[in-house]
Amino acid sequence: MPPSFATTQQVITDHQPVVYLQGSVERVTFHSEESGFFVIRVKCKGQRELVTMTGSTPSITPGEFVEASGIWFNDHRHGVQFKVQQIKTVTPTTLEGIEKYLGSGMVKGIGPHFAKRLVRAFGEHVFEIIEENPERLMELEGIGKKRREKITSAWSEQKVIRDIMVFLQSHGVGTARAVRIYKTYGDQSVAKVQENPYRLALDIHGIGFKTADQLAQQLGIDRTSLIRAQAGVRHVLQEHSGDGHCAQAFQGLVDSAVKLLEIPEETIKQAIQIEINEERLTPENIDGEPCLFLTPLFRAEQGVANHVVRLLQGHSGWSGLDLKKAIPWVEKKNQISLSDSQKKAVEQAVRNKFCIITGGPGVGKTTVVNSILKIIQAKKAQVTLCAPTGRAAKRLSESTGQEATTIHRLLDFDPSAFDFKRNADNPLETDLLVVDESSMVDIVLMNQLLRAVPDKSAVLLVGDVDQLPSVGPGSVLSDLIDSGSVPVARLTEIFRQAASSRIITGAHAINRGQAPKQTKRGEETDFYYLTGEEPEEIFSKVMAVVTKRLPASFGFDPVQDIQVLAPMNRGGLGARSLNVALQEALNADAHPRITRYGWTFAPGDKVIQTVNNYDKEVFNGDIGRVQSVDIEEGELLITFDGKDVMYQVSELDEVSLAYATTIHKSQGSEYPCVVIPMAMQHYTLLERNLLYTGVTRGKQLVVIIGQPKAVGMAARTLRSTRRLTNLQARLV
């Protein structure tokens, strides 16, 4: 039999008589995996209408029979509801309930269609048949050996995890996370969680310190225990690295941990020392101040510095080239005329084994790279081209006419070992490695990449140092440039062809601290700046521009061609609320629909991958379209750049809607048309490199819709907080 779920409680403050209700769950209107909060419609004995119940429980499924105690209350928006104090769910016994339960997606391989047929064939004995005589399932047409095996293995997995589920759910862990814990620890789940619940935050995607901490409190772990202090310290440092820092000042870490954990400072310091002894944290002075690194970040910084020094040594096979002949030759070959600054850049890249080329849009970086490649390949050198994202690699390939790949694919990630196959022992076979969009590469990935480059090879990093730094920790490109230890060619001259684009001249003006000029009525341009005084006005203008005006005036497809780029996720003008509104406006009629982890997905929806998934070869920031939703199988098919990728419903916390996304997530990508809302509600993020990065994502058209004060503030504000790293000092 399937599991019945443990009772959960919710404190009720209203002074009302407590009522007991029983009935079957007809519909789950809303259920949050995160908090357990639910809104359900229940067919109750003695009630003519369906009862709306609200409360909190780890899992609730249509068809289940519930026994609930609580109070009636009148919600001013939603009418009379039953606020649940305690709820217990039991396996259904009525045929209708069993059908709903089986068809809810609880058991993979059985959707609404097969649930109906199973109940019709086996009645109330259906659970026993699945468990004890699964071969009888094949009596039904459409259930072959493959589907039977799928159903029975899903059922037996349900059985094995029943005790684990009940244990975890009775301590407030939601179903999806309980499944993840089981998949990570197997039969050892209960023992490992009881021994140290804080390990969940280290081992399991989607479980953070706060969830682990709540679980620990429920298991009776002392709030002032060292085990909690250690986990808290690690959490504070991880959050800090989430903001891009490689390290944190010792006292800052202590103060943050004391505030978060409400534990005495001495205990925190003791916990830090244990973490240092166990080599999870590494101490080091930065500019004379004691700081702490998460050890993997410390090692990555050391690694990058060592590899840069190693690769700067020696000479490439083409360093002795006569550039007085080579440059005119390449100009003739490529039918171009290089400017003095471009010639200097070509010279530096050919002469040095490690070199950086940086500059904004329209300054001819592509022309320089193509010239370098032509000269070096004339010497029969083997060249490898890569970029951090699939889109950036595709662009590099198009601009050079040569094959380019993502860094992850180049290094050949092995999911079973969770490491790259290419490394110091199995290096890349290349004479020159070119890395485009290198401002996006964080310290960990740069270390992995450089360790796979053999001593004899040369490296050319190409990127725009004025863009936002990498999403991951570090500011590798700017640290390398600022160290003065690496040859740098900085291109600044905007070429005539590019100078006619307001996107390019506007981006360079923003980089000089000048806000864009407001667009006059009737003006034809590729860069529009429309103003709005209130966030509501900006919101309605964004919706009108994306769904009506741009498609009508320029023929852009609102889903395929237009990308809304918001400064942040939260708030009325954040990516999240814009996504919900744009989905409703652009894809409301698509079916079937499935809701998981707070998002609803349907065929045709535009989605973004939010974490690296090496098994699927889909990476953080990749944008795709939902092709199909299979409710029966609990699967979604999503296409990324022409490649179809299958997702189980339980994996949908890795994707979110992408009609709107953050400017950070858009790095390395270009879109035909970009729409950027900007308001003072984003003020903590309003910085020059954010606005500059957003504007430079647009290929054909950019539209800023914002409050003048917010746009002006973004253009004027230089990077206020420099990331705390020590790479520059290691190189000097």
Known binding-site residue numbers for ATP = 362-366
DSSP H helices in 224-315: 226-242, 250-261, 265-277, 295-312
Can you give the three-state secondary structure of 326-354, one letter per residue? HHHHHHHHHCCCCCHHHHHHHHHHHHCCE
Nearest to 459 by CA among 354, 335, 539: 354
Annotated binding site: 362-366
Quick one: which of 453, 478, 451 has its CA closest to 463? 478
Q: Do residues 537 and 394 lie in contact, with contact meaning Cβ atoms separated by under 8 Å? A: no
β-pairing, 671-678 vs 562-566, is parallel
C-beta separation of 566 from 578 below 8 A: yes
- Asked if residues 5 and 174 have their Cβ atoms less than 8 Å apart, the reply is no
Question: What distance in Å separates the CA atoms of residue 307 and residue 289, rounded to the nearest whole number?
Answer: 26
Distance between CA atoms of residues 667 and 437, nearest Å: 9
Give the Cα separation of 435 and 399 in Å (integer).
Answer: 14
Q: What's 131's DSSP letter?
A: H
b/e for 628-666, b at 16 or more Cβ within 10 A?
ebebbbbbbbbebeeeebebebbbbbbbbbbbbbbbbbb
Two structure tokens written together for 466: 């004025």
Rounded (to 5) percent helix, strand, coil in the chain:
45, 25, 35
In contact, 717 and 686? CB cutoff 8 Å = yes
Cβ(232)–Cβ(257) under 8 Å? yes
Q: Which H or E element spans position 167?
A: helix 162-170
| Dihedral, 493, 498, 499, 501 alpha carbons, nearest 10 | -140
Spatial contact of 27 and 42, defined as CB atoms under 8 Å apart: no
- For residue 487, the one-letter residue type is P
> Looking at this protein, which amino acid is placed at residue 164?
I
Let me know: does 302 contact 474? Beta carbons within 8 Å.
no
Consecutive H or E run containing 53: strand 51-56
CA atoms within 13 A on the CB side of 459: 24
Both tokens of 652, joined, read 């949908």
Pick from 41, 24, 26, 32: nearest CA to 89: 24
- If we measure between CA atoms, which residue out of 363, 705, 368, 703 comes closest to residue 503? 703
Query: Cα separation of 282 and 296, whole Å?
Result: 9
**Strand partners of residue 628:** 637
Q: What is the CA radius of gyration of the chain?
A: 29
Whether 39 and 53 have beta carbons less than 8 Å apart is answered as yes
Residue entry with tokens 């299958």? 646
Helix (H, G, I), strand (E, B) or coil at 30: strand
Q: Is 270 exposed, middle or buried (0-12, 13-18, 19+ CB in 10 A)?
A: middle
Ordered DSSP codes for 255-274: HHHHHHH---HHHHHHHHHH
Query: Cα separation of 453 and 491, whole Å?
Result: 26
Alpha carbon distance 695, 463 (integer Å): 16
Report the candidate in 170, 216, 217 with the shortest Cα–Cα distance to residue 197: 216
